[in-house]
């Protein structure tokens, strides 16, 4: 058994569109142990969803894996055929999507859509699958499961549908659950309920979770490890404490500054990150964040920053950190 459940090394992935090659992932590495919760944070188009989807082999056409190793639970994902991937999807890795209103097929009953995945990956017959589906609905906190199994998605509320999506994802007791902005489309109160439910189920079933979100509040409360992504790269990685109390990358700092705080004075404005995300069709030669960075230096525009480590876990890719660490090292001598 490998040490890590998920071990992505130097993944590079591009989408080949009519306009040209979009470099969606550049040198992304992620490690996750069994039962751990990793948060991937970043703005739209930063590659956070693509990283997770590539683990499930869901980035097919026009996406193409150009390099790196993707290891999951002893499988080498990059060498697997579509047929082999199908045995893993919905079974060892499951996913819940952003919008529960559209993620369930409107013309089939809830029961049909849950038992479908059970029958696909286990030897259970219809009656056993139905019993399991009922059990799952109870597990995700849906009342009157017998009645719900016969209902169609449009007869349920958004929060209820997301619970059904979670039930489908957990049907085969996956090792890894990918949650792709699971609460973005829900009301605030329902958001909290869903997150609570996910954490409760994680403790009960012991699965690992990759939480993809742009909501720093969500990762702060749930995740042990956080990866901050920008323009298809992980720019900073660390524990929740590292990221929130000791952010190193200018982008991470900007993200944290832009969170509304309880102690903010009434007329104080939030500080946005100026500028727009880079065009991944023509990525710059240097640090992709440099054009928006207050502290950018000449070298930032020319060359990609190397990794600067702060301890075992926490690292960033920023010239400024590199410079500070170098100066610190020099002053010690």
Which stretches of the chain bind another protein, using CB under 8 A? 56, 58, 85-91, 94-95, 97, 99, 102-108, 116-117, 120-121, 152, 154, 165, 168
Tell the smallest beta-carbon distance from residue 89 to another protein (Å).
4
Q: Nearer Cβ to another protein, position 126 or 282?
A: 126
HEC assignment per residue over the chain: CCCCCEEEEEEEEEEEECCEEEEEEEEEEEEECCCCEEEEECCCCCCHHHHHHHHHCCCECCEEEEEEEEEECCEEHHHCCHHHHHHHECCCEEEECCCHHHHCCCCCCHHHHHHHHHHHHCCCCHHHHHHHHHHHHHHCCCCCHHHHHCCCHHHCCHHHHHHHHHHHHHCCCCCEEEEECCCCCCCHHHHHHHHHHHHHHHHHHCCEEEEEECCHHHHHHHCCEEEEEECCEEEEEEEHHHHHHCCCCHHHHHHHHCCCCCCCCCCCCCCCCCCCCCCCCCCCCCCCCHHHCCCCCHHHHHCCCCEEEECCCEEEECHHHHHHHHHHHHHHC
Q: What are phi and psi of 6, to 5 degrees?
A: -120, 130
Locate 2 and state its tokens: 């490998």
Tell the smallest beta-carbon distance from residue 31 to another protein (Å).
23
Among all chains, which residue has been given the structure tokens 């047929």? Answer: 83
Tell the smallest beta-carbon distance from residue 154 to another protein (Å).
5
**Quick one: residue 41, left, alpha or beta (phi over 0 = left, psi -120 to 50 = alpha)?**
beta
Q: Nearer Cβ to another protein, position 161 or 233?
A: 161
Q: Nearer Cβ to another protein, position 209 or 273?
A: 209
Q: Nearer Cβ to another protein, position 152 or 310?
A: 152
* Cα atoms found within 13 Å of the Cα of residue 195, Cβ hemisphere only: 23
Tell the smallest beta-carbon distance from residue 182 to another protein (Å).
13
Tell the smallest beta-carbon distance from residue 24 to another protein (Å).
17
Q: Nearer Cβ to another protein, position 117 or 228?
A: 117
Q: Nearer Cβ to another protein, position 48 or 248?
A: 48
Tell the smallest beta-carbon distance from residue 58 to another protein (Å).
6
Q: Nearer Cβ to another protein, position 87 or 261?
A: 87
Tell the smallest beta-carbon distance from residue 296 to another protein (Å).
38
Tell the smallest beta-carbon distance from residue 71 to another protein (Å).
19
Q: Nearer Cβ to another protein, position 108 or 245?
A: 108
Among 102, 265, 267, 90, which Cα is nearest to 172's? 90
Tell the smallest beta-carbon distance from residue 40 to another protein (Å).
17
Q: Nearer Cβ to another protein, position 160 or 168?
A: 168
Among 304, 305, 302, which Cα is nearest to 326's? 305
């Amino acid at each position: 058994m490998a040490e890590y459940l998920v071990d992505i090394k130097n993944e590079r992935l591009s989408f080949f569109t009519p306009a040209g090659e979009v470099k969606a992932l550049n040198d992304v590495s992620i490690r996750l142990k069994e039962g751990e919760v990793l948060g991937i944070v970043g703005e739209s188009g930063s590659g956070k969803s693509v990283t997770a989807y590539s683990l499930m082999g869901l980035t097919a056409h026009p996406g193409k894996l150009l390099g790196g190793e993707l290891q999951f639970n002893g499988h080498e994902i990059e060498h697997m055929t579509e047929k082999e991937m199908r045995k893993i999807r919905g079974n060892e890795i499951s996913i819940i999507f952003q919008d529960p209103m559209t993620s369930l097929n409107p013309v089939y009953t809830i029961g049909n859509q849950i038992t479908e995945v059970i029958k696909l990956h286990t030897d259970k017959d219809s009656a056993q699958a139905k019993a399991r589906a009922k059990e799952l609905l109870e597990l995700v906190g849906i009342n009157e499961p017998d009645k719900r199994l016969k209902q169609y998605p449009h007869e349920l509320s958004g929060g209820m549908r997301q619970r059904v999506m979670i039930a489908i994802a957990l049907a085969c007791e996956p090792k890894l659950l990918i949650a792709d902005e699971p609460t973005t489309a829900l009301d605030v109160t329902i958001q909290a309920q869903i997150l609570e439910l996910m954490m409760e189920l994680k403790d009960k079933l012991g699965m690992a979770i990759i939480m993809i979100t742009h909501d720093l509040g969500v990762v702060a409360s749930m995740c042990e490890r956080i990866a901050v992504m920008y323009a298809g790269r992980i720019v900073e990685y660390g524990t929740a404490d590292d990221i929130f109390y000791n952010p190193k990358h200018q982008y991470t700092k900007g993200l944290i500054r832009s969170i509304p705080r309880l102690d903010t004075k009434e007329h104080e404005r939030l500080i946005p990150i100026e500028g727009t995300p880079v065009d991944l069709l023509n990525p710059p030669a240097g640090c992709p964040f440099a054009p928006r960075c207050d502290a950018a230096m000449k070298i930032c525009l020319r060359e990609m920053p190397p990794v600067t480590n702060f301890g075992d876990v926490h690292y960033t890719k920023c010239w400024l950190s590199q410079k500070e660490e170098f100066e610190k090292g020099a002053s010690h001598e």
